[in-house]
Amino acid sequence: MDYKKELLAVEQIHQASLKILAEIGVEFGSKKVDEIFRANGFRQENGRTYFTEEQINKYLDMATKEFTIYGRDENYFININTEDVNYCPGYGSPLITNADGSIREALFDDYLKMANLFHMEKSFKVNGGIIVQPSDIDPEISIPAMIYAAIKRSSKVLFGIQGAKKGQIDIFNMLEIVFGGKEELRKKPRYIVLSTPTSPLRVDLSAIDTLLLGCEYNQPIAVCSACMPGATAPVTLAGAIAMCNAEMLSSIVLTQLVNPGNPVMYEFACYGSNVQSGNASIGSPELIKAGRYGSLLAKKYGLACRTGGGLSDAKGVTAQAGIETAMSLFHTNLYKSNLAMHSAGILDSFATMSYEKLMLDFEVIDRCANYFDDIEVNENTLAFDTIKKVAEKGGIFLDQKHTVKNCRKTYIPQVSLRSKLPQGKDPNEALYESMNKRIEKQLAAYVKPELDPTIEKQLDEYMLSIGMKPEDIKKV
């Protein structure tokens, strides 16, 4: 890897993004937003807004770039910066891949079960979002229903869901109930607001409504451009990254026009695509390479970045799933993805979630943490006296006091198999058994976090008032 060439490429992409914003512009699907830009001196023609380099720099400088987001239990918080890595659940899948490879629609019960598993996993301090899209909840209320479930099932940082204005108002009404009203909520980041531009170079009304309401509550806005090279962006990575970057910069500027100093995050998501079929490809090296430059661009602007995650195109928990996910999660840590969406459970280009893949990805995350943690170097770990004893007197290290004292510090896998299998035992079957034992153990240990009974009753009544079925409320 030529680092000088890499930095030059980052600067060239940055300049290309500025040219896109100055000469092509961005279409915002809102007269209200057009007026905000116009009132602040931005050029507008034919329904498009154009940006100068000076305007971009001015409003980027206004944004709050480093901050803390707090969970309902303030023992759970995440630092937003350019160095710490924070993991978020899988996101958006409407289907579940079963252990036998069959596929079924995701249900609300799956959402609740997975929220429990993410609450129990120590490497995750974020929960919620569209962990899976439940097919048995009325689409009109499914977005607030998922946030409601995440609030009650977990006390970790809440990940948001973009959607129509009514659903966003419902979400913030619930957050007011939980956190003591609008003014109290404005004082402290609690909820990650996801706003996604539509490639190429357009921001639709749901993204705008979500962003504006998030700014009204002074909650962190994660602007996430998710373009697909060859489909919704140029097939060449340089062109796709430049366009993706331009989309995010334009929405970040909007956050500062609406609420100067509003916390922001740079959610880079330039996915690969199969140009033969037009489908997204999330297990490709191109996605990881694009993420590398997205991360470097974010660092250039001093912004926390989202890249990577536990991504795979595999159709089941196969060798392909392991290879692709491990590469993506290694990249996540190497380039310091501050907020890694889709970190566990994802299969088949976002189409499905898998309970078994969830367990495998939790282990890959642990392995990455072990690898990127510095080794301890001191008199004990250098073990000079033990080396001298074994070398001079013979024997083995296995029965030495030093080994007995320190052996429990070595890495122990959570689901991977190390012991010898019984004769004739299928190793894949044994691995699935190990995964499911861990699922059962985690679910058995889950304890629903405490929530003030008055607040819980208010939440239940609110969801009932917007049309959630009593039997679904009872489940939560």
pLDDT for 420 equals 87
Other beta carbons less than 10 A from residue 386's beta carbon: 17
Max Cα–Cα distance, the chain, nearest Å: 86
Q: At what angle do helices 355-372 and 427-445 cross, to 10 degrees?
A: 90
What are φ and ψ of residue 196, in 5° steps? -115, 110
Check residue 230 and give its pLDDT.
86
pLDDT of residue 276: 64
Q: Cβ–Cβ contacts within 10 Å for residue 6, how many?
A: 12
Predicted confidence at residue 22, as pLDDT, reads 98
**Tens digit of each residue's pLDDT (9 = 90 or more) over 417-450:** 888 888 888 898 999 999 999 999 999 999 999 9
Report yes or no: 430 and 417 within 8 Å, Cβ to Cβ: yes
472 close to 145: Cβ distance less than 8 angstroms = yes
User: What torsion do the CA atoms of 417, 421, 424, 428 make, to the nearest 10 degrees?
Assistant: -10
pLDDT at 115 over 90: yes
Q: What is the pLDDT of residue 27?
A: 98
Q: pLDDT at position 445, please?
A: 97
pLDDT surpasses 90 at 25: yes
Residue 378 has pLDDT above 90, yes or no: yes
Q: What percentage of the chain has pLDDT greater than the value 90?
A: 87
The type of residue at 345 is: G
Q: Measured between alpha carbons, how far is 3 from 285 in angstroms, rounded to an integer?
A: 19
- Domains of the chain are 61-372 (3.20.20.480), 380-409 (no CATH)
Structure confidence at residue 411 as a pLDDT band (50, 70, 90) = confident
Encode pLDDT of 234-279 as tens digits: 999 999 999 999 999 999 999 999 999 999 999 998 887 666 666 7
Find, among 342, 28, 27, 30, the residue nearest to 165 by Cα. Answer: 30
pLDDT of residue 270: 86
Look at residue 112 in the predicted model and tell me its pLDDT: 98
The fraction of the chain above a pLDDT of 70, given in percent, is: 98
Sequence-ordered list of residues with C-beta below 8 angstroms from that of 471, at least 6 positions apart, any chain = none
Q: Residue for token digits 């489940």?
A: 475
pTM > 0.85: yes or no: yes
Query: If we measure between CA atoms, which residue out of 351, 319, 312, 353 comes closest to residue 97?
Result: 353
Integer Cα distance of 33 and 35 in angstroms: 5
DSSP type of residue 327: H
Cβ neighbors of 94 (< 8 A, separation 6 or more) are: 105, 106, 132, 133, 135, 351
